[in-house]
Structure 1
Amino acid sequence: MRKPNPYDAHVGSRLRACRTLAGFSQERLGTAVSLSFQQIQKYEKGLNRIGASRLQQFAQILNVPPSYFFEDMPGVEQQPQARPEHAVVSEIEQDKSPVSRRQALELVRNFGKISDPTVRDRIFQLIKAAATSYSGKAEGEDEQPAAVAVAAPAGDEPA
């Protein structure tokens, strides 16, 4: 079995991350560009090279600039990222654990669906506090997570 070209594999991994973040299945993305989900799999694994016109289609469907697929390319000088969510996707892609990578992408996608800014802010503060409580421990401290208090939005108090 042949080994994928590292550049094709990188573009494919960016396609997979963006597709997942956008909430598309391989089948749905394939249907949008008249391809089978197997062809999308081959693109994402870097086994098949994505042509320029097809890459432009993916960029339009997934609402990213075509340059997104080339950001963080190994061995290529980096340009500043245009949108902050691209930085999030780059950090998620660097995590080699498939479970946590999938969870992180789903978390970002679902967080964006929360329309109430107060709820969104409270969830953000909760996650930030939980992350700090786990990463800020001195060596030898108890492994139990610190309690995190998050006040309910006004008017949402239990009866």
Structure 2
Amino acid sequence: MPTDKTKIDLDEKKVDQRVGENIRHIRLLRGLSQGALAEAAGITFQQVQKYEKGTNRVSASRLVQFSIVLSCSLDDLFEGTKDEMMDGLGIDGKPVSVLSSEATSIALKFDDISDSDIRRRIKALIATLAKSREETEEDELQGA
């Protein structure tokens, strides 16, 4: 807990940008346009753009509103902000970033798969491929 003599250095702009990235990411996963989110929130789509870019700070009440419209938790909207601010390195020394456009596209399509067994198999395949890639990279580093 900070005392009177300590100050927490916080890059507010980074936090605002990260929250905006999270809003955009979740909005895209839900298949909503900026206009649809704006209409549900009673604001203009330009305001949504400013929030998503981190140009404008999102108020607490607006965050609650977005969490309801986007069917997500407030924690989801703040995902990655604490880790980023704690050491500036993100996860495993790599910068934290939102999903690539390819990953977002796959995630959107994945939600359309109704068969739970197929979804489970796809997740297992992705985990296997990712593990295989990591092992290959480790082998290359060790000179194998």
Question: 2-side partners of 1:132 and 1:71: how far apart?
Answer: 24
In structure 2, relative to structure 1, the CA distance for the partners of 1:120 and 1:38 (3 Å cut) is same
Q: Does 1:49 align with 2:46?
A: no
Q: Does 1:117 align with 2:116?
A: yes
2:102 corresponds to: 103
Question: What is the alpha-carbon root mean square deviation over aligned residues?
Answer: 2.7
Unmatched segments (≥5 aa) in structure 2? 1-11, 87-94
The alpha-carbon deviation at position 95 of structure 1 amounts to 4.1
In structure 2, relative to structure 1, the CA distance for the partners of 1:131 and 1:5 (3 Å cut) is closer
Q: Does 1:94 align with 2:96?
A: yes
1:64 corresponds to: 72
The alpha-carbon deviation at position 29 of structure 1 amounts to 0.9
Task: Using structure 2 for the length normalisation, give the TM-score.
Answer: 0.68
Question: 1-side partners of 2:46 and 2:53: how far apart?
Answer: 11
1:7 aligned residue (5, 15, 22) = 15
> Higher mean Cα deviation, 64-73 or 23-32?
64-73
Task: Using structure 1 for the length normalisation, give the TM-score.
Answer: 0.62
2:7 corresponds to: none
Unmatched segments (≥5 aa) in structure 1? 77-92, 142-159
The alpha-carbon deviation at position 125 of structure 1 amounts to 2.8
Deviations 1:57-76 (A, max 9, x none): 10001111223322322436
- Quick one: percent identity of the two aligned structures? 38
Considering fraction of residues, name the structure with more helix: 2
